[in-house]
Amino acid sequence: MRFMVIVKANKDSEAGKMPSSEQLIEMNKYNEELAKAGIMLAGEGLHPSSRGVRVRFEGKKRTVIDGPFAETKELVAGFWLWQVKSREEAIEWLKRAPFDDGAEVELRQVFDAADFGEAYTPEVKAAEERVRQQVEAHRS
């Protein structure tokens, strides 16, 4: 099972305040544990929403909205993508994360092919595999 671990923004992250050396060291230790256990597939911190944009889709119209965005508690400051055996395992790993400042972190399961049922036809599977191959080719 794959899970997206979503670290919510706060006033400090939205103000662009960088973590201390000690916080970075603790987070790197935690990320090393995740990597050694084969759980961490990806993980990054994000710039504040003042450096971001949103694109609103209405029919054929596209509207670009510049940040910052008002609802800090609804914003994302960083993420991990994990591969684990169960939701419970993901929760146990998350509980070990080195947060101590009232951070809020959301855990959401990523869809797998089986979740789509009959809609996941051989044609859809083949198209998805082509995209994955193209993504991997560009990583190399």
Q: Which fold has domain 2-109?
A: Alpha-Beta Plaits (3.30.70)
Confidence band for 4, pLDDT divided at 50, 70 and 90: very high
The string of pLDDT tens digits covering residues 73-90 is: 789 999 999 999 999 999
The two three-digit tokens of residue 33, written as one number: 């544990």
Buried b (16+ CB within 10 A) or exposed e, 61-71: eeeeeeeebee
Mean pLDDT, range 25-53, rounded to an integer: 97
The string of pLDDT tens digits covering residues 102-124 is: 889 999 999 998 899 999 999 99
pLDDT tops 80 at residue 140: no
Q: What is the pLDDT of residue 81?
A: 98
Positions of CATH 3.30.70.1060 in the chain: 2-109
The structure's pTM equals 0.87
